Amino acid sequence: MPLAPANQSQLIRSSQKDEYYQTFLRNNANEAFQTLAGSKRWLDWRREIELLSDLAYYGLTTFSGYQTLGEEYVNIVQVDPTKRWVPSRARRCLFVLCRAYFPYLVDKVMVCLENELECGQERRGGAGWRRATSWQRWSLESWLRRWMQRAVGLLSEPQKRACVPAVFALHQGLTLLHRLHAALFYISGSFYHLSMRAAGISYLHVMGLSTDDRAVRSSYRLLGALSLLQLLVTVCLQLNSFRQKHRARQEWKIYRNLSPQRAHRAGPRAASCILCLEERRHSTSTPCGHLFCWECITEWCSTKAECPLCREKFQPHRLVYLRNHS
């Protein structure tokens, strides 16, 4: 039977069908575990159950050398870079790990690192959160939390403050990477997932070249070009926002050195900033009306665009610097 490279629409339909069956398997596994172990343990292990469900799905299909239900639905088969042979077991294993396990691991590492950097001091101040069940002590999250505590404990306070925006930038970089990969897929028609690109696995359609294949590829190339243009605009806007924040921070440092606070303002009734717990300097107002130090609220907004008090969402450019305000 003639073979031809699978086009974008076939790969997308296959992925959607696989996601449908994965969701079905996850829901049944979650329901069974919740019934047997209870809701509390299910909440602690929900992500791990979903991971095991995905590993089981791809382990019984791709890793075992069979088509997934989505691939069978659109009649496509996996091939290695030579386009002549099916992928080796090592390639299939790498694909399964990149598809199911690595996203879970990256998400756990980023969450643990962000939590330890932002509220590690508060957590170490109280021992209540350390009480964990025997199930939780052996979880990957518990092990990562302990490892992050040791790693972050080696950093100084300035280094910790510098790592917070770095973690945020890494989050944004991963999002932009996925958007770039999707745009390249629309243009080239291969490697719908990053896991496929990492393993070098592509697809052939067993029904041969369809009559509308060229039209389908052309329409997806146009979509890819528009996606690249949108991504470029997004990157430019983010870079411009970063430059504005950096310039505002530098201007604040210069202004602070030129206009030190007067000594008589340090009285017992002096207004304080809830972020630094010191006398408020260079008062700045959020759109909701709460006042903070200029440096404190700008650093806060670099990671969370919301008011620290009432949690109202706003853009950093809406901050109002109050001159001659005591």
Higher model confidence: residue 149 or residue 126?
A: 149
Do 162 and 218 belong to one domain? yes
Asked whether residue 281 carries a pLDDT value surpassing 90, the answer given is no
Q: Does the pTM exceed 0.75?
A: no
Do 41 and 102 belong to one domain? yes
Do 211 and 319 belong to one domain? no
Q: HEC string of 142-179? A: HHHHHHHHHHHHCCCHHHHHHHHHHHHHHHHHHHHHHH
Residue with tokens 């829901």: 27
Most confident of 83-97, 201-215, 287-301: 83-97
Nearest alpha-carbon partner for 136 in 149, 145, 128, 124:
145
Q: Is residue 253 part of a domain?
A: no
> Residue 211 carries which side chain, given as an amino acid letter?
T
Phi, psi of 36 (to 5 degrees): -80, -40
Nearest alpha-carbon partner for 87 in 116, 110, 65:
65
- First-residue to last-residue Cα distance in the chain: 82
Q: Is residue 294 part of a domain?
A: yes
Please give the share of the chain, as a percent, with pLDDT higher than 90.
38
pLDDT at 52: 95
Q: Is residue 260 part of a domain?
A: no
Phi, psi of 277 (to 5 degrees): 60, 30
Would you state the torsion angle of the CA atoms of residues 318, 271, 277, 304, taken in this order, to the nearest 10 degrees?
-10
Please give the full DSSP string across 8-19, using - where no structure is assigned: HHHHHHHHHHHH
Do 39 and 159 belong to one domain? yes
pLDDT at 210: 58
Rounded mean pLDDT, 27-48: 90
CA-to-CA separations, 77 to 56, 184, 199, 276, in angstroms, rounded: 20, 21, 15, 59
The pair of structure tokens assigned to 298 is 């700008």
The pair of structure tokens assigned to 252 is 């604040």
The number of distinct structural domains making up the chain is: 2
The model's confidence at residue 33, banded by pLDDT at 50, 70 and 90, is very high
Do 19 and 120 belong to one domain? yes
Q: Is residue 234 part of a domain?
A: no
The pair of structure tokens assigned to 285 is 């107002």
The model's confidence at residue 267, banded by pLDDT at 50, 70 and 90, is very low
Alpha-carbon gap, residue 86 to 84, rounded angstroms = 7
Do 218 and 275 belong to one domain? no
Q: Is residue 78 part of a domain?
A: yes
In this predicted model, what pLDDT tens digit does every residue of 53-63 receive, in sequence order?
999 999 999 99
Do 164 and 25 belong to one domain? yes
Q: Is residue 246 part of a domain?
A: no
Q: Is residue 252 part of a domain?
A: no
Which of 225, 251, 285 is at the close of a domain? 225
Left (φ > 0), alpha (ψ -120 to 50) or beta: where does 207 sit?
alpha
Asked whether residue 248 carries a pLDDT value surpassing 80, the answer given is no
4 within 8 A of 205, measured Cβ to Cβ: yes
Do 36 and 178 belong to one domain? yes
Do 37 and 182 belong to one domain? yes
Most confident of 54-63, 199-208, 283-292: 54-63
Q: Is residue 250 part of a domain?
A: no
Do 79 and 144 belong to one domain? yes
The model's confidence at residue 266, banded by pLDDT at 50, 70 and 90, is very low
282 within 8 A of 321, measured Cβ to Cβ: yes
Rounded mean pLDDT, 152-170: 79
Do 161 and 32 belong to one domain? yes
Residue 207, exposed/middle/buried by CB under 10 A (0-12, 13-18, 19+)?
A: middle
Do 76 and 197 belong to one domain? yes
Structural domain range at position 298:
269-326
Lowest pLDDT segment from 24-38, 47-61, 110-124: 110-124
Residue with tokens 């092990």: 143
**In CATH, what number is assigned to the domain containing residue 298?**
3.30.40.10
